[in-house]
A and B are shown apart, each in its own frame.
Chain A
Amino acid sequence: GAGVSQSPSNKVTEKGKDVELRCDPISGHTALYWYRQRLGQGLEFLIYFQGNSAPDKSGLPSDRFSAERTGESVSTLTIQRTQQEDSAVYLCASSLGRGRGVAGELFFGEGSRLTVL
């Protein structure tokens, strides 16, 4: 596709259930990021994938959160045993790589809005 695609766009779940959020990056983009945006808050970094390097998981808030990426394509963010404080918009972004300049520009998806009841 022409841009970063995320699904589902909206997800309502009950506390304690597991959820999976999917991100399709722009073809050819080796870097992929997940961010969380809580209501009224800024962007909170969660995890970063770059090619075949070990992912930077330093932003994951707890061990209930995990993410995978198959090669340089689709990524899935999984939240286990969801809590109400997990309610947020989860944004995915991709870029050409980690180099300076043009390659550093991030292209964002429209986000997945998660509501935990």
Chain B
Amino acid sequence: AQRVTQPEKLLSVFKGAPVELKCNYSYSGSPELFWYVQYSRQRLQLLLRHISRESIKGFTADLNKGETSFHLKKPFAQEEDSAMYYCALRRYGGSQGNLIFGKGTKLSVKP
């Protein structure tokens, strides 16, 4: 079965420290992976997707098929990065396709 695991419910770091939010997945096909973010009192929104290989707000994520991971990283955390982060896997098969989310990690960046 497809699954997305975010082992940390809460991650707390100081401003300027590196941050890594972990995400592991299980999927037998070719996955498409995303990170979504929800800032306080805002809608859930896309942060980045692995196929774009982009850096958004200083965040990057590399798909490691050997370790089935898609960890989100930022070298220097900022207070405005405090938010809820969700890793998501999009599966394809037959006539269906849906986005499966992990349980989320709350990132708290302290001054």
Measured CB to CB, the residues of A under 8 A from B are 3, 33, 35, 41-43, 45, 48, 50, 53-54, 56, 59, 91, 93, 98, 100-101, 104-110
Contact = CB atoms under 8 A, between A and B. Distances in A.
Interface of B: 6, 32, 34, 36, 43-46, 49, 51-52, 86, 90, 92, 95-104
Contact of A98 (B34, B49, B51, B97): B97
A44 to B, nearest CB: 8
B49 A53 contact: no
Given A41-B103, A109-B43, A104 B49 contact: yes
Contacts, number: 58
Contact of A48 (B46, B49, B96): B96
A56 B98 contact: yes
Given A104-B32, A108-B43, A43 B98 contact: no
Nearest to A104: B90
A98 B102 CA distance: 20
Contacts of A107: 45
Residue from A33, A42, A50 whose CB has the most chain B CB atoms within 10 Å: A42
12 contacts: A35-B101, A41-B103, A45-B99, A45-B100, A50-B97, A53-B95, A98-B92, A98-B97, A100-B92, A105-B34, A105-B49, A109-B43
A109 to B, nearest CB: 7
B21 to A, nearest CB: 13
A91 B44 contact: yes
Contact of B43 (A41, A48, A110): A110
